[in-house]
C-alpha cells in the first residue's frame, strides 16, 4: 500500500492552510498514494498555546464546511484520506476529531481524541472534551485503520486495543514540538522518547505505524511563552520498528512511501506476542493505580 503524508506549516490564514493541505493531497495522489494522512489540526494554528474562549469559533460541525472540502478532495483524487478537525458537537461541547474519508468522498468514520493533555503551551483540556467512541479501527477500501491522535501516541493501551480490534495500520496525526524555554538536551530527550515509544507500538503489536507531525514555528499570541517550534520529522515504521522514512525537522514535505502489509503476518509468526499474552492476569490495567 502506498501512503502519502503531508507535513506542513500553518498560519492564522485558514484558507491558506487548507489550500496547502489540498496541494499536498494532490501531490501525493499524483505520486500514486492510495492513502493520504494529514497532520493534527491542519486547518489552523495550534490554538491551544493559550486559553481564549473566542477561539472556539474556529470549530465546525461534522459533517460541515471543512468536511465537504476534504471529502471532495478524496473523491477527486480517489484516495482514502485522514484529516484532523476541531469539531463542534454541540454548544459548549468540542472535540479534537480525526475524520476518515473513502475514495468516493463519503465519511468512512471518525475518531475523537481520547487522551487530552494539559501542559505549558498545550492547554488542550480547555478546548477538547475527551473522546467517547473508544478505540475502534475504521474500515476502508485500503484496510482497517487504527487512527489515534497525538497525545494518544504515548499510551500503549490505545495502540494495543486498536491492534486487538483488527487494525492493520496505526496512524497518528500529530502536533508536537519544543516550547521556547526547553533546553537543547531536554529537546533531544523529548524527541527521542516520542520516536521510541511509537516504534515500540509497532514492535509490540506487529503493525506498521505512521506519524504525521506539523513543522515550523508558531508564536504564542498571548506572550506567555516564545511559542512552539514544531519538530516535524514525520515518520513511518514497520512491524519490527524498522524506520521506513523520516522527514526533515525544518521544512514541509509531501511524501509517498510503500508499506508491505504482508509483513504483519510474517512478523507475528516469528514474534507471536498476541499468542503469549497472559490476559487472565491483566485485570489491574483497568485500575488507576495498584495501591
Q: Which three cell numbers stand for residue 265?
A: 503476518
Closest CA to 104 of 131, 125, 136, 80: 80
Is 75 designated active site? no
Q: Return d(Cα 237, Cα 260) in angstroms, integer.
A: 11
H or E stretch covering 267: helix 262-270
Is 265 designated active site? no
**89 phi and psi angles, rounded to 5 deg:** -85, -35
H or E stretch covering 166: none
- Catalytic option among 10, 28, 113, 168: 113
Rounded alpha-carbon distances, angstroms, from residue 138 to 49, 56, 98, 120, 135:
30, 27, 11, 32, 10
Tell me the three state secondary structure of residue 178.
strand
Strands 35-38 and 243-246: unpaired
Cβ atoms of 109 and 100 closer than 8 Å: yes
- Catalytic option among 28, 40, 88, 179: 40
- Catalytic option among 150, 168, 179, 218: 150
What angle in degrees, to the nearest 10, is found between the helix axes of 14-30 and 65-77? 20
Q: Return d(Cα 247, Cα 33) in angstroms, integer.
A: 17
Rounded alpha-carbon distances, angstroms, from residue 153 to 63, 197, 200:
26, 8, 10
Is 48 designated active site? no
Give catalytic residues, as residue numbers. 40, 113, 150
Amino acid at each position: 500500500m502506498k501512503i502519502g503524508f503531508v507535513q506542513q506549516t500553518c498560519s492564522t490564514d485558514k484558507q491558506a492552510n487548507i489550500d496547502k493541505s489540498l496541494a499536498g493531497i494532490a501531490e501525493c495522489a499524483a505520486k500514486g498514494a492510495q492513502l493520504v494522512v494529514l497532520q493534527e489540526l491542519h486547518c489552523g494554528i495550534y490554538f491551544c498555546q493559550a486559553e481564549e474562549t473566542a477561539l472556539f469559533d474556529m470549530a465546525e460541525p461534522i459533517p460541515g464546511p471543512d468536511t465537504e472540502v476534504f471529502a471532495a478532495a478524496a473523491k477527486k483524487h480517489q484516495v482514502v484520506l485522514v484529516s484532523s478537525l476541531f469539531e463542534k458537537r454541540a454548544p459548549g461541547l468540542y472535540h479534537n476529531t480525526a475524520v476518515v474519508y473513502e475514495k468516493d468522498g463519503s465519511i468512512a468514520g471518525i475518531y475523537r481524541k481520547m487522551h487530552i493533555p494539559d501542559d505549558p503551551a498545550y492547554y488542550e483540556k480547555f478546548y477538547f472534551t475527551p473522546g467517547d467512541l473508544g478505540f475502534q479501527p475504521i474500515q476502508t477500501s485500503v484496510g482497517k485503520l487504527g487512527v489515534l491522535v497525538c497525545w494518544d501516541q504515548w499510551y500503549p493501551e490505545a495502540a494495543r486495543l486498536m491492534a486487538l480490534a483488527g487494525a492493520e495500520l496505526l496512524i497518528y496525526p500529530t502536533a508536537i514540538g519544543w516550547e521556547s524555554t526547553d533546553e537543547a538536551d531536554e529537546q533531544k530527550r523529548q524527541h527521542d522518547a516520542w520516536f521510541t515509544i511509537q516504534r515500540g507500538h509497532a514492535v509490540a503489536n506487529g503493525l506498521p505505524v505512521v506519524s504525521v507531525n506539523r513543522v515550523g514555528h508558531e508564536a504564542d499570541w498571548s506572550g506567555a511563552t516564545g511559542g512552539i517550534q514544531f519538530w516535524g520529522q514525520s515518520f513511518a515504521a514497520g512491524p519490527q520498528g524498522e524506520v521506513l522514512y523520516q522527514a526533515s525537522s525544518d521544512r514541509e514535505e509531501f511524501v509517498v512511501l510503500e508499506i508491505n502489509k504482508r509483513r504483519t503476518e510474517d512478523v507475528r509468526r516469528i514474534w507471536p506476542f498476541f499468542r503469549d499474552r497472559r490476559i487472565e492476569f491483566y485485570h489491574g490495567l483497568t485500575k488507576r493505580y495498584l495501591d
